[in-house]
Amino acid sequence: MALTVYTASWCGPCKRLKSQLTREGIAFQEIDVERDPDAEAFVIGVNGGNRIVPTVVFPDGTSATNPSVIEVKARLAQAANVPAAVSPVTG
């Protein structure tokens, strides 16, 4: 599963979350909003005009602002247990 964490080098909560994700064995891609203007614009867009980090984007495209590692684990587990969409049978 692809988890993306938008961060900044000065951000204490970002450091904490990244450490907790690593400890839990949860793989993630880190994107520093201070080095990537497009990432900064994305974070501002999903946070009502505010640049708030950490912002986490889940594999299903949803996001969470400053989530706990418990919330991240729960949302990943929930996504893993969602059955795939069933196509209607025609005939």
- What residue spans define the domains of the chain? 4-81
Task: Give first-to-last CA distance, the chain, whole Å.
Answer: 35
Class of CATH domain 4-81: alpha beta
What's the predicted TM-score (pTM) here? 0.84
User: Cα 44–61–49 angle (5° rounding)?
Assistant: 10
**Biggest distance spanned by C-alpha atoms of the chain:** 59
pLDDT digits (tens, 9 = 90+) for 70-83: 999 999 998 888 55
Summarize pLDDT for 5-63 with one digit per residue, the tens. 999 999 999 999 999 999 999 999 999 999 999 999 999 999 999 999 999 999 999 99
Q: Do residues 58 and 76 touch, judged by C-beta distance below 8 A? A: yes
